[in-house]
């Protein structure tokens, strides 16, 4: 097949707004054959009009085998900023096969002087902070958990508080702290709605991960306006992978890679 007709076989590791935007931009393009990979954590995800693989690969070796079997020529890792294991496995597999890898990751949120953030390195550290009544001045708190439905177990160690958990899908009941109110909802959430939610429950604290992006930022802005402290879990250390912040930048990287590949094939 002539180089001009070759469609680049691209794997997109997805699960984020940026991944969705990239997939939408690639719909119908004849020079790229993208495959979106989703872990399958979210039920009934919104799917783009490209090939989709749902489910894991079986670790780094499984991913490496899948890349070989499907003749993948480039990978864009657009997983969640806290999906550290997947990003690590992608880096190892692509390095072993000499496949170019790009990380598409939105910037982290940054605090302003009006914010009251308590930054911690992990969810376990966040739970530990809630276990220190002298720090907060009261024994029983009302806490807003926006950490995801699979991230509730650490707070079972601090069962005295009332938690309000918001997630797209309902979590397993056995993973929840004993006093938990569940809100099932899918973002994005606007500022007015977030202010109304925070006022309704009269939260003492919000626990969240520094996911970045616009979809869930209104809760941070609402906390700022209502003077509610936030326990902010920092991102894991990034892999040593080239990184861009937007789908547009990822498309530019793809174009550059395709141009270089065409020149090599001439």
Alpha-carbon distance 234 to 246, whole Å?
21
How many CB atoms neighbour CB 111 within 10 A?
Answer: 14
- DSSP of 168-183, one letter per residue? SSPPPGGGS-SSEEEE
What are the pLDDT tens digits along the chain (266 aa)?
A: 444 468 999 999 998 999 999 999 999 888 999 999 998 766 656 788 899 999 999 999 999 999 999 999 999 999 999 999 999 999 999 999 999 999 999 999 999 999 999 999 999 999 999 988 666 677 789 999 999 888 899 999 999 999 999 988 888 888 899 999 999 888 788 999 999 999 999 999 999 999 998 888 999 999 999 999 999 999 998 878 999 999 999 999 999 998 877 656 54
Give rounded-to-5 percent helix, strand, coil for the chain.
Answer: 35, 20, 40
Alpha-carbon distance 216 to 4, whole Å?
42
CA 26 to chain centre: 21
Alpha-carbon distance 238 to 20, whole Å?
21
Alpha-carbon distance 71 to 69, whole Å?
6
Q: Locate the DSSP E strands across 93-223.
A: 101-104, 117-120, 142-146, 162-167, 180-184, 205-209
Q: In this structure, are residues 49 and 200 in contact, taking their beta carbons and an 8 Å threshold?
A: no
How many CB atoms neighbour CB 131 within 10 A?
Answer: 14
Query: In this predicted structure, what is the pLDDT of residue 3?
Result: 43
Query: In this predicted structure, what is the pLDDT of residue 234?
Result: 97
């Amino acid at each position: 097949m002539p180089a001009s007709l070759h469609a680049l076989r691209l794997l997109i590791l997805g699960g984020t707004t940026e991944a969705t935007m990239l997939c939408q931009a690639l719909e119908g393009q004849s020079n790229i054959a993208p495959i979106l990979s989703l872990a399958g954590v979210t039920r009934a995800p919104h799917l783009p009009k490209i090939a989709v693989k749902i489910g894991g690969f079986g670790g780094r070796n499984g991913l490496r085998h899948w890349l070989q079997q499907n003749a993948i020529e480039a990978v864009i890792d657009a997983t969640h900023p806290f999906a550290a294991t997947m990003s690590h496995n992608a880096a190892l597999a692509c390095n072993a096969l000499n496949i170019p890898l790009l990380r598409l990751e939105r910037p982290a949120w940054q605090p302003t002087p009006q914010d009251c953030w308590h930054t911690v390195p992990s969810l376990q550290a966040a739970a530990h902070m809630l276990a220190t009544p002298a720090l907060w001045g009261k024994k029983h708190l009302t806490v807003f958990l926006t950490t995801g439905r699979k991230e509730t177990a650490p707070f079972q160690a601090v069962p005295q508080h009332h938690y309000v958990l918001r997630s797209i899908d309902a979590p397993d009941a056995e993973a929840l702290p004993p006093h938990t109110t569940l809100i099932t909802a899918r973002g994005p959430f606007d500022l007015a709605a977030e202010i109304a939610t925070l006022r309704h429950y009269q939260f003492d604290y919000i626990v969240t991960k520094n996911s970045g992006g616009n979809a869930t930022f209104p809760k941070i802005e609402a906390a700022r306006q209502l003077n509610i402290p936030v326990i902010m879990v920092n991102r894991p250390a990034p892999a040593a992978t080239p990184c861009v912040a937007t789908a547009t930048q990822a498309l530019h990287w793809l174009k550059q890679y395709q141009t270089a590949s065409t020149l090599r094939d001439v």
